A and B are shown apart, each in its own frame.
Chain A
Amino acid sequence: MHSINLAAEKINPLLPHTAELIVGAIAFTLLYLVLRSKVVPMFEKAFTARTEAIQGGMERAEKAQLEAERALRQYTEQLSKARDEAHSLREDARAQGVAIVEELRTKAQEEAGRITAAAHASIEAERQAAIASLRTEVGTIAIELASKIVGESLDDQARASRVVDRFLDDLEVSK
């Protein structure tokens, strides 16, 4: 030990030591190989996985949000469409109701008109019939009465009806 120290008095600390140079190189290379093959790839893997996990999560959230927005838009659209539809249905129904009422009214009016017309016609016909029967009956009665009064037979048909007609015409004119 002592002798080493004495010999070492002249050792320059800046001079390399062969054994240490070799060992240093080997040790460093060894460490380099271990770290490069075992450690760096694993850390990189962890970093990549983490980045992906974070990015993936963010992307997933973004996608979900987009999806939700799309659904909301769709619902609002559908809702407004349904509202429009209901509105138009109501309008249709109202229009239809109005039309139906209108139609019924015209129909009823027509019916009423027809009934009135029919009544008029039947009244007219009966009146005509009454007039006709009256005319003959009044004629007969009048002739009978006249013949009784005059005493003259008015059996001659043609003359009789001419007399009645004249009589009736006079009646009408006097009316």
Chain B
Amino acid sequence: MRSLHLLSASGGGFVPPSSNDFIFPSFFGHSQYATKPIFLVFLSVLLISIFFVLASRKAAIVPSKLQFAGESLYGFVRNDLGRDIIGHEFMRFVPYLFTLFVFILTNNIFGIVPLLQFPTMSHVSFPYVLAIITFVVFHYIGIRKQGIRKYIKDIMFMPGVPKAAYILLTPIEIATYFITRPLTLALRLFANMFAGHLLLLVFILGGDHLLKGVIGLKLISPFAFAFGIGLTFFEFLVQCLQAYIFTLLTALYIAGALADEH
């Protein structure tokens, strides 16, 4: 695909990677359901399911290496994100948090897996979906726990604050709970993946382009590639971190909705 770009821009020098590089042609005709991101999402579901079903199938007291690997990841989400943040009711939310974490993590890591090399979450639709689910989940929990009247009232008029402060506080709180939280949740993930992928494209494609240039440029090209490789490791860090942050914030929002006072 990139080569097509270059061909289309033949003679016109280097075309810097842009948001257009995030648009993929359909595998079959014009079907919007047969593109690379959609394939990757289903692939991730398949891989995660197979891995964890195999890892957890035996549920042995003395775990195999596979079970240990799966348990470590599960235990991390269960204990560090679920139990420590949500508290005694955490077990209800562990399946959701766990799914969220491994789903985002796997799709992010696709960005540096050879041949796949595309972080699915850099397509904003997927983070939107996840953020909407989290949004619905934590509001639903809050309403069920405290009743709709008290829940909304606590958000609009934060208890224990002087009345005059509501002029400022009420719009901020409403914006926080209904706009900022879901939006930042989705955009943080999306933007990190989008920017990371773009950065890698710049260095790898740039290095590639330099290789086609005159001898002096050819000599610079390895540096671009080296930087690209370095950034790949950095991207791995960001990918894990973003999966963690998304899940962590979801757990925090759930914990907040469960707490009596905001």
Chain A: residues with CB nearer than 8 A to chain B? 1-2, 4-5, 8-9, 11, 13-21, 23-25, 27-28, 30-32, 34-36, 38-40, 42-43, 45-47, 49-50, 53
Contact = CB atoms under 8 A, between A and B. Distances in A.
A39 B23 contact: no
A42 B190 CA distance: 32
B179 to A, nearest CB: 15
Contacts of A35: 48-49, 52, 95, 98-99, 102
Nearest to B71: A43
A29 B94 CA distance: 15
A13 B32 contact: no
What 6 A-B pairs are tightest by C-beta distance, nearest first?
Answer: A20-B125, A42-B56, A19-B32, A36-B95, A24-B129, A46-B59
B69 to A, nearest CB: 12
Decide if the interface of chain B is mainly helix, strand, loop or mixed: helix
A135 B71 CA distance: 136
Interface stretch (B38-46, B210-218, B226-234): B38-46
Nearest to B127: A24
22 contacts: A1-B1, A5-B5, A8-B19, A8-B20, A11-B19, A15-B124, A17-B123, A17-B125, A21-B125, A27-B41, A27-B44, A28-B129, A31-B49, A31-B99, A34-B53, A35-B48, A35-B49, A38-B52, A38-B53, A40-B95, A42-B57, A46-B60
B74 A39 contact: yes
Q: Assign chain B's interface to a size class.
A: 35 or more
B198 to A, nearest CB: 10
Interface string B86-124: 000000001110110011000000000000000000011
Contacts of B99: 28, 31-32, 35-36
Nearest to B7: A2
Decide if the interface of chain A is mainly helix, strand, loop or mixed: helix
Interface string B54-78: 0111011101000100110011001
Nearest to B20: A8
B194 A13 contact: yes
B8 A2 contact: yes
B61 A5 contact: no
Given A5-B8, A31-B49, A35-B49, A20 B38 contact: yes
A1 B53 contact: no
Interface string B117-150: 0000001111011100100000000000000000
Nearest to A23: B38
B207 interface: no
A17 B59 contact: no
B124 A32 contact: no
Given A4-B23, A5-B20, A39 B41 contact: no
Contacts of B102: 31, 35
B4 interface: yes
B25 interface: yes
A1 B1 CA distance: 8
Contacts of A19: 32-33, 35, 38
A8 B8 CA distance: 15
A19 B48 CA distance: 22
